[in-house]
Amino acid sequence: MPAMPAIEAQFRSLPGGGILYDAARVRHPGAQLFQHGHWVAHNAVREVSGGRGSVSFIAPGNESTRTDDAWVWRHYRRGGLVARLLQDRYLFTGAERTRCFREWRLLARLIDCGLPVPEPIAARFLRSGLTYTADLLTAELPPSLTLAQSLGRAALSSQQWQSIGRTLAAFHLHGVQHADLNAHNILLGTSAADQVFVLDFDRGRIREPGDWEQRVLQRLRRSLEKISAQLPPTVFGKAQWGWLMEGMAAGKAVGCRL
């Protein structure tokens, strides 16, 4: 496999905030990268979808050093009850502690480890008084469907469940704790059946092995149970979870680091 060009982390302060970006990939590290109007003017917003309705697919054109690059832009939003009060604002305690810089740096580390996650492009925070808003650009993954979408179309094979388990084992072997592992944050490649990606590393971290691994898996299991409640019983149950666990055990046994 040709070596991927390394990510070149670089920081630049912007009026009222700052940007952390891959200098090997971003041509003009500026606020325009996070202005909807900029992309619309270049006819570069392809589509909008996603979890909380805040993900845009961007064709960056000559903002990228790569031809035909494709980026995904996410604006950080709060979930749950605080969302109504604070929407998209977080307490500022330093640039490196912002949600977006943390996720950008974690993704860069995971890419370094060879884990299947989106490459980080640029993270930006913007301050206003004590708070900030956050945005992240990542590279779009190869054509894929979320695990949730895939299950809505057809049952997965035992091999596919095992591939998911092996992938999760690799993350756990590296000590990567996902803060919100669910069926919307696991993607399955549509060209190769065993391609599995994981995304959405907001609040994720690297830590020593521990109980957290079981908690992460239980969260995923609950998500799968919730989604499959409306689907035929063959889509998800004990057998499917068992295959996933088999893949997980096999991955751990061989120290599978993908």
Ligand X SMILES: Nc1ncnc2c1ncn2[C@@H]1O[C@H](COP(=O)(O)OP(=O)(O)O)[C@@H](O)[C@H]1O
Q: Which residues sit at the interface with ligand X, rule CB under 6 A?
A: 50-52, 54-55, 72, 74, 118, 138, 140-141, 146, 184-185, 199-200
Instruction: Name the DSSP letter for residue 26.
Output: B
CA distance 117 to 114: 9
Question: Is residue 179 a contact point for Mg ion (CB under 5 A)?
Answer: no
Query: Is there a contact between 193 and 159 (Cβ–Cβ < 8 Å)?
Result: yes
Answer positive or negative: Cα dihedral of 156, 162, 163, 169. Answer: positive
Q: Which residues of 162-201 are buried (b: 16+ CB within 10 A; e: fewer)?
A: bbbbbbbbbbbbeebbbebbbbbbbbbbeeeeebbbbbbb
Residues 35-54 that bind Mg ion (CB under 5 A): 51
User: How many CB atoms neighbour CB 92 within 10 A?
Assistant: 17
Closest separation in Å from C-beta 136 to Mg ion: 12
3-state DSSP call for residue 75?
strand
Closest separation in Å from C-beta 98 to ligand X: 15
Identify which of residues 60 and 118 has a Cβ nearer to ligand X in the complex.
118
Active-site pick, 180, 194, 200, 202: 180
Question: Is residue 200 a contact point for Mg ion (CB under 5 A)?
Answer: yes
Closest separation in Å from C-beta 141 to ligand X: 4
Identify which of residues 18 and 118 has a Cβ nearer to ligand X in the complex.
118
Q: Interacting stretch for Mg ion, rule CB under 5 A, among 2-10, 39-47, 145-153, 196-204?
A: 196-204
Answer positive or negative: Cα dihedral of 144, 36, 85, 99. Answer: positive
Residue 202 a catalytic site member: no
Identify which of residues 147 and 248 has a Cβ nearer to Mg ion in the complex.
147
Identify which of residues 51 and 189 has a Cβ nearer to Mg ion in the complex.
51
Q: Which residues are catalytic?
A: 180
Contact residues toward Mg ion (CB under 5 A) are 51, 185, 200
